[in-house]
Chain A
Amino acid sequence: MNTKISLHTLVILTALFSSIVLAQDEKKNIVYKYKEYEVIDLGSLEIKGQIMAPGDLTVNERERQTFKRSLLEKQNYDFENKREIENLR
């Protein structure tokens, strides 16, 4: 009875082992290939809806802003005149 089981087990194990080896050999030989490029023709795509933006973009021409810094001006002599009086007496 024992001999019968052992033989049966051996056959099963041998079959399993050989299938695993076969499976490993098959995995090594697989080569995956992808598409090198794909062209999408947008012109042929049709988008349904309403156009909200103007057809072309424009910028109004205007003069470039220049920041004028205030340079020294002599509008009056108040400072000098007052000092002169203070320096009198």
Chain B
Amino acid sequence: MTGRIVNISKKWGFHGITALKEASPGYKMIMGFFLLMTLAGLAFGLHALYVGYHHVYGVTREISWGLLIAAYIFCVVTSTGLCIVSSVGHVFGGEAFMPIAKRAVFMSIVFMFGGFCIIFFDIENPFRMAIWNVFSPNLVSNMWWMGTLYGAYLVFMMIEYYFLLDQNHSMSRLMGFFGLVVGVAAHSNLGAVFGMLHGRPFWYGPYLPIYFIFSAAMSGGCAILFFTALGWKINPEIMNQRMERAVKAVTQLTIFMISVIIFFTIWKILTGMVSEGKQLVLMSMLTGDFAVNFWVFEVFLGMFLPLYLLIRSRGNNFNLILWATGLMLIGIFYMRYDIVIPGQMESVYHSLGVVEAANLLTYTPTLHEIMASLFGIGFIALAYFAGEKVLNGHQLEKHEIVPDGGYICPGCGAIHFMEAGETEEDAMKRHHRIW
């Protein structure tokens, strides 16, 4: 293999730590800020672990899943969404989506780790989980499947990312396919963690597993647009014709997915209004304590504003896309919060008509919970900013300059490398080998 380019900085677009050192002071400050956020979050989390969660967290016996679970769900929904959106290109061959694949898969892995960071500080005995998940599995428990499937998903995504970097498109496609299948299974199963608790009418039913998948696709489209547009702000040179086309395509997909979610939300409310078990909670979302969360954040920031701005952007106004998707990410976070907390607000004894359960239960996140969530969010941001530099904006060369020995594959649109004495056609066959 003498002629083959083995320099990973060229082949993987890997710029190493030097790229971080050369970053501008402002960039370093941003990274420093997120590093501090991560460390502070970690410190608060460890403190909570040390003194006992019940002393510092706002969760109670009745509302036992709080902000941390909402933040965890936000992270894994976005991770699965990034996987789904990127797979349109490099698994199913939608050429327009191909340029986003590397950034999307990278961020998908990062979001997954961020989610694990957060849930680590929610589960009371995380170390026991590693042992007893293996030695005492309960195959009818959604929680068990969630841990197992997300573990497998993460492994597939990491292998896929390696093959993406390594230009082995047939293998990355295969791994991407497995990752997608396992990811969709894991994620719909996460919906079922809630949806199969039949004592909780607000959650119970097939709605949540289905909603979670569509919601993930929306979050994924939103996230990759946000991170691509932000990458463009950091380094305008990552934009080229192929990337512009990709952004346009993803914008269209995201607009469509927002519409789907609006449709889902409308029917959730309308069907819930005739159900005794859900009506009280829904009224709290429409007119009560959760009205700001629901109308301002979930509906306005999460759906209508981005829908309007994304349509206005026509997929090529990157500033507008950045604003739309940035606000939308905040809105999406509230969407997750509005699933987790309201499902627990109605006491199980409410239907009994007793005095103790007459009112809705309340929950307010504490400082420790907020900081432990920021541990994961800070980690994601830090990894993103580091990745943009170290991995050279997730591209091989700037301005579509094809490096020596490489060419743009007419099939997949990525840059391939030829071995010595190999023609483009042979190289393409090698990269897209079907075995």
Question: Do the two shown chains form a genuine complex with each other?
Answer: no
